[in-house]
Structure 1
Amino acid sequence: QFYFCNCMRLYGFFLITKITFFIIIHFLHFSNPILKRLN
């Protein structure tokens, strides 16, 4: 049970990191034309 909990915690951390990276990439992709327009 401890191994299962540790594995799920690692999977959750990996999932959160992946989602955060995905959101950052999309935010940079959408804010890039706006930054180019401001400059």
Structure 2
Amino acid sequence: LARLEEEGTPKEAYQFYIDTRSYGGVPHGGFGLGVDRVCSWL
């Protein structure tokens, strides 16, 4: 939030994201199965 204030960006543009993060972050980054991982798996 401090960075938004530094840049002068209105918080309303990111309010949906700020509300989501008020409950905490996600426990993991997920599982990215990209083309490179599929090729290395084969």
TM-score normalised to the size of structure 1?
0.22
Of Structure 1 and Structure 2, the greater helix share is in 1
Query: Normalized against structure 2, the TM-score is what?
Result: 0.22
